Structure 1
């Protein structure tokens, strides 16, 4: 008969072994849902003044990613 203490030790040992094995499995063999997402971005910017602007700095959002890095003018 297995005591509750032995069962706890077996459970913890299984957890200690299975978590790293699962993590390595997901690292080398990622599931399909990790790459099946779609993202859409839309940015609108407008600047309107009634006087001359001097020494202005504009912080505008710009998406960064592999497709943008490969061709900087691809989504402009």
Structure 2
């Protein structure tokens, strides 16, 4: 697994696609930054992180960080 955050561009995609892309990226990376502009994406990404025990943070401007716990 890579330690640097992987950038995932999910702009223009409707949920559940941003969440699916995030989950897939986190199979191979310790952390991701996902760009998603669907209005429900923040809520869905946070729910995914919570369900998996990952950290979630909103970075602003439709950018979110998800990471495996240290």
TM-score class normalised by the smaller sequence = under 0.3
| Structure holding more helix per residue | 1
Name which one, 1 or 2, has greater alpha-carbon Rg: 1
Q: Which TM-score applies when normalising by structure 2?
A: 0.25
Task: Work out which structure has the larger RCO, using CA pairs closer than 8 Å and 6 or more positions apart in sequence.
Answer: 2
Q: Which TM-score applies when normalising by structure 1?
A: 0.23
